[in-house]
Amino acid sequence: MALGISPLVDFAFKKIFGSPENVRALIGLLNAVLDRASPIIAVEILNPFNYQEFADAKQIVLDVRARDDQGRSLNVGMQVSRVGGLLQRLNYYACSLYLDQMQRGGNYWTLRPAISICFLNDQLFRDTQQPHHWFEQGDMTSGRRLTGGIEVHTIELPKYNLLAETISRASRIEQWVFFLLRADRYSAAELQAMLPDLEFHAAISVVERIASQTEDRVMYDQREKAIRDQQWLLSSARQEGEQAGVLAGQIQLLQRLLQQPEQPLEELLQLPTEKLTAQHTDLQSQARLRNT
């Protein structure tokens, strides 16, 4: 029977990757994203999973903050949909992690990289099919990178083309994306067969526990509903914004045709949709009377 638990839901994501007793899964995920010659061996989770943060949560995104055995500060999060200012927020997280090292009394030469990682179940860069972007400071002329400082990674999940039949031979990052996107569709045994490494077994065992424990399942269902509600609100806001833009453009066109003072677009977009609709209807009536 399929587990029915999606790691995309913040409660599941945080319990899988933010539980100290399950740190093997977080290490595996980080190594898959960073793909460095010197892999992470150990991490300390700085904000471990607890039920209260979900009971008190006012937003959907709850990140995992950690420090690895090489002294790097890391912030890992799941974002279910694209929102305004996402890149700025990720950069801010990384800068905050970098600055916090000095607040602990360190010297400049002891500063270690600060890395912000975001898994996004949406498209952020619509002009490319590249799913994983890695940002660092760099010189615009020579291309030389300023390493050892701020680093931001975005992983756009929908851009991966994954097949269950070949996932066992895919790259490690593709395997983790498959787990994040499709763990809810399979049983624990099926997932373990497709993703046989121990780091995946650690993650699968948490998903299995959420599915079987009443308290976990109730909290998971509540958070899943909260995510659906947020996505609906975002979608409604986008549609309303698009409608307002169309109405504002038509109002300006009608004002020009009627030789009336043209209102600035910025002013029109500040008006509620109802007022825009009423103004548009009135201008249409004036145009019809003028043509009779």
Q: Which one has a higher pLDDT value, 61 or 145?
A: 145
- pLDDT tier for residue 148 given thresholds of 50, 70 and 90: confident
Q: Is the per-residue pLDDT at 44 higher than 60? A: yes
- pLDDT tier for residue 205 given thresholds of 50, 70 and 90: very high
Q: What is the mean pLDDT of the chain?
A: 87
Could you tell me which residues come within 8 angstroms of residue 215 by beta carbon, excluding any fewer than 6 positions away? 51
Say what percent of the chain tops pLDDT 90: 57
Which of the residue ranges 101-115, 191-205, 261-275 has the most confident prediction, judged by mean pLDDT? Answer: 191-205
Query: C-alpha distances in angstroms, 149 versus 94, 112, 115?
Result: 9, 7, 8
Determine the pLDDT at residue 174: 97
Asked if 159 and 131 count as a contact pair (C-beta separation under 8 A), the reply is: yes
Asked if 129 and 159 count as a contact pair (C-beta separation under 8 A), the reply is: yes
Asked if 79 and 120 count as a contact pair (C-beta separation under 8 A), the reply is: yes
Q: Is the per-residue pLDDT at 77 higher than 90? A: yes
Determine the pLDDT at residue 271: 80
Structure tokens at 35: 């793909």
**Cα–Cα distance for residue pair 167/176, rounded to 1 Å:** 10
**Cα–Cα distance for residue pair 54/11, rounded to 1 Å:** 7
End-to-end CA distance of the chain: 69
Determine the pLDDT at residue 267: 81
Determine the pLDDT at residue 233: 58
Determine the pLDDT at residue 269: 76
Query: C-alpha distances in angstroms, 258 versus 101, 247, 268, 276, 292?
Result: 63, 16, 17, 17, 14
Over range 226-254, report the average pLDDT.
69
Over range 249-253, report the average pLDDT.
78
Over range 233-255, report the average pLDDT.
69
Which of the residue ranges 147-151, 202-206, 248-252 has the most confident prediction, judged by mean pLDDT? Answer: 202-206
Q: Where are the beta strands (DSSP E) in 71-123?
A: 73-79, 114-120
- pLDDT tier for residue 60 given thresholds of 50, 70 and 90: low
Determine the pLDDT at residue 291: 61
Over range 32-57, report the average pLDDT.
88
What is the value of pTM for the model shown?
Answer: 0.77
Determine the pLDDT at residue 81: 79
Over range 161-175, report the average pLDDT.
94
